[in-house]
């Protein structure tokens, strides 16, 4: 599957013709790869755009848009496998779509300059989740700095974010003690990627490479196209992950399946995680080091936790009985974060566990997870080619902060 399908190539043509044409047209107009910007939605007679205000609730916004509460409930149901609406915050943009008869027919949520989520009303009254994406590419920026005080303070001064500094700590921290081993005058060079669509930034960034020079010794980490970081020798420096979010394996009650068909509608209804038959109260552990990105209580997903593991990895834990961590907390691999439960719309006590790599759900029980391993044998030539490109950029970038208009090394692009 292509990572960023151009919608003109893969429009909503798979749908049968009984579905509302309005949303199809909306998607085409908004996601055509030729359009320079999002189309002006006010041009659509059937679209009302709202921006979330502080203190707004979803039900208030829906009421104000004259949408029946049953539709909100069914949209929440369609969102349960993704939780995209959980990202709503003041300023978020929602587009309410109405058919020619004036009936509410769909909702679009703008995630960033390249992505919208559409919830399309089906003839049976249910809603279907659809991710609409423009093509994106990455532009690299090189940041340099000199240690003056702590690495943390020096790195922030050079323009890195807190999350990026934490990731550098995760990647290189096992090799040296940042507090004790670094001296004033030691230098660091960091390559940060900015995701772009056309000429607009999406706001997504990634740490592509880091090198820390301490006297004659250099410590480095390079992001490879498998989502893992390696040193110059191709040895993994990504902190290892656990396979299971529990202290012992449990029976799989429902497998990961992106092509699952809904038993009634026959439509594709993906299961983006794996269900483990955990009795209520089973300790749940974070499968990797990371930061708690979100905690919530969703009518369908129940109490849940999202953990950002830095770099390409994220995990998600649903239907929890009790959450034991706070939003923003740093957690370690194997740390107890929750007790499993049966909250939300659930057919019985279980844990729904998801692993995302590069923003896409993968089967957590079979995916390649970072272990203390090296670049796979078959990929060594590709890794070395990318490495020499990145080293050259990091060495020769003229200024402290220089945007490369040239593409990121081809090997860093998402795999097709
Ligand atoms: Zn599940």
Could you give the CA distance from residue 253 to residue 243 in angstroms, rounded to a whole number?
Answer: 17
Least confident of 30-34, 297-301, 366-370: 30-34
Q: Give me the residue label for tokens 């043509």.
A: 13
Distance (Å) from CA 353 to ligand 1 centroid? 7
Q: Quick one: pLDDT at residue 23?
A: 58
Distance (Å) from CA 342 to ligand 1 centroid? 11
Give me the residues paired with residue 206 across strands: 193
Could you give the CA distance from residue 203 to residue 167 in angstroms, rounded to a whole number?
Answer: 18
Name the residues around ion ligand 1, CB cutoff 5 A. 275, 352
- The 10s digit of each residue's pLDDT in 93-149 is 999 988 777 788 899 999 999 999 999 888 888 898 988 888 899 999 999 888 888
Distance (Å) from CA 60 to ligand 1 centroid? 29
Distance (Å) from CA 88 to ligand 1 centroid? 23
> Quick one: pLDDT band at residue 263, thresholds 50, 70, 90?
low
Distance (Å) from CA 154 to ligand 1 centroid? 43
C-alpha to C-alpha distances, 358 to 2, 228, 277, 315, nearest whole angstrom: 13, 10, 27, 11
C-alpha to C-alpha distances, 264 to 106, 219, 256, 302, nearest whole angstrom: 21, 55, 19, 23
* Percent of residues, the chain, with pLDDT higher than 70: 83
Give me the residues paired with residue 403 across strands: 141
Distance (Å) from CA 400 to ligand 1 centroid? 46
Could you give the CA distance from residue 416 to residue 414 in angstroms, rounded to a whole number?
Answer: 6
Q: Nearest 5°: phi and psi at 238?
A: -70, 130
Distance (Å) from CA 386 to ligand 1 centroid? 38
- The 10s digit of each residue's pLDDT in 221-248 is 999 888 889 989 888 888 888 999 999 9
Helix residue ranges per DSSP H, 308-379:
none
Distance (Å) from CA 285 to ligand 1 centroid? 17
Q: Nearest 5°: phi and psi at 25?
A: -65, -40
Distance (Å) from CA 361 to ligand 1 centroid? 12
Distance (Å) from CA 15 to ligand 1 centroid? 25
Q: Strand 187-197 and strand 200-214: pairing?
A: antiparallel
Cβ proximity of 341 and 334 under 8 Å:
no
Does pLDDT of 370 surpass 80? no
Distance (Å) from CA 363 to ligand 1 centroid? 12
Q: Quick one: pLDDT at residue 271?
A: 93
> Quick one: pLDDT band at residue 19, thresholds 50, 70, 90?
very low
Give the gyration radius of the chain's Cα atoms.
23
Q: Quick one: pLDDT at residue 6?
A: 33
* Percent of residues, the chain, with pLDDT higher than 90: 42
Q: Under 8 Å CB-to-CB from 153, ≥6 apart: which residues?
A: none
HEC states along 360-398? EEECCCCCCCCCCCECCHHHHHHHHHHHHHHHHHHHHCC
Return the H-helix or E-strand segment holding 31.
helix 21-31
Q: Nearest 5°: phi and psi at 177?
A: -90, 110
Q: Strand 401-403 and strand 313-323: pairing?
A: unpaired
Helix (H, G, I), strand (E, B) or coil at 283: strand
Q: Quick one: pLDDT at residue 265?
A: 64
Distance (Å) from CA 309 to ligand 1 centroid? 21
Distance (Å) from CA 206 to ligand 1 centroid? 29
Cβ proximity of 292 and 307 under 8 Å:
yes
Q: Quick one: pLDDT at residue 321?
A: 98
- The 10s digit of each residue's pLDDT in 322-364 is 999 999 999 999 999 999 999 998 889 999 999 999 889 999 9
Q: Quick one: pLDDT at residue 26?
A: 63
Least confident of 217-221, 279-283, 308-312, 370-374: 370-374
Does pLDDT of 3 surpass 60? no
Distance (Å) from CA 106 to ligand 1 centroid? 25
Mean of pLDDT values over 17-36: 49
* Domains parsed from the chain with CATH numbers: 12-133 (3.10.450.350), 137-240+372-412 (3.10.450.350), 252-362 (2.70.70.10)
Distance (Å) from CA 201 to ligand 1 centroid? 33
- The 10s digit of each residue's pLDDT in 40-59 is 343 345 788 899 999 998 89
Q: Give me the residue label for tokens 């949408």.
A: 67
Distance (Å) from CA 274 to ligand 1 centroid? 6
Could you give the CA distance from residue 136 to residue 3 in angstroms, rounded to a whole number?
Answer: 9
Reduced to 3 DSSP states, what percent helix, strand and coil does the chain have, rounded to the nearest 5? 20, 35, 45
Count of CA atoms in the C-beta half-sphere (13 A) of 381: 1
């Amino acid at each position: 599957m292509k990572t960023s399908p151009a919608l003109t190539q893969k429009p909503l043509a798979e749908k049968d013709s009984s579905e509302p044409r309005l949303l199809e047209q909306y998607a085409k107009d908004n996601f055509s790869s030729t359009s320079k910007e999002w189309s002006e939605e006010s041009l659509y007679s059937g679209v009302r755009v709202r921006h979330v205000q502080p203190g707004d609730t979803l039900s208030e916004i829906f009421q104000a848009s004259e949408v029946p509460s049953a539709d909100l409930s069914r949209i929440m149901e369609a969102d349960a496998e993704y939780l995209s609406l959980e990202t709503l915050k003041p300023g978020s943009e929602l587009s309410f779509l109405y058919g020619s008869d004036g009936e509410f027919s769909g909702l679009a949520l703008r995630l960033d300059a390249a992505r919208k989520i559409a919830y399309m009303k089906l003839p049976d009254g249910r809603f279907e989740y659809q991710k609409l994406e423009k093509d994106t590419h990455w532009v690299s920026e090189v940041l340099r700095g000199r240690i003056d005080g702590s690495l943390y303070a020096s790195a922030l001064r050079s323009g890195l974010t807190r999350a990026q500094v934490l990731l550098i700590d995760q990647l290189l921290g096992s090799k040296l003690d940042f507090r004790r081993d670094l001296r004033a005058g030691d230098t660091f060079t960091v390559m940060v990627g900015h995701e772009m669509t056309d000429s607009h930034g999406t706001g997504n960034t990634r740490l592509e490479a880091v090198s820390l020079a301490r006297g004659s010794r250099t410590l480095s980490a390079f992001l490879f196209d498998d989502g893992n970081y390696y040193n110059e020798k191709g040895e993994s420096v990504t902190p290892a992950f656990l396979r299971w979010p529990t202290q012992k394996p449990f029976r799989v009650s429902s497998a990961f399946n992106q092509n699952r068909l809904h038993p009634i509608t026959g439509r594709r209804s993906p299961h983006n995680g794996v269900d483990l038959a955990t009795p209520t109260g089973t300790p749940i552990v974070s499968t990797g080091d990371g930061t708690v990105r979100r905690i919530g209580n969703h009518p369908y997903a129940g109490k849940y936790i999202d953990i950002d593991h830095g770099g390409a990895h994220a995990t998600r834990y649903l239907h929890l009985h009790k959450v034991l961590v706070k939003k923003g907390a740093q957690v370690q691999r194997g740390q107890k974060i929750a007790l499993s439960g049966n909250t939300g719309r659930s057919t019985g006590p279980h844990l729904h566990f998801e692993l995302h790599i590069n923003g896409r759900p993968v089967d957590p029980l079979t995916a390649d997870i970072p272990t203390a391993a090296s670049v796979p044998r078959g990929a060594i030539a590709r890794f070395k080619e990318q490495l020499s490109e990145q080293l050259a950029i990091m060495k020769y970038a003229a200024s402290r902060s220089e945007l490369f208009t040239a593409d990121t090394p081809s090997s860093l692009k998402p795999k097709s």
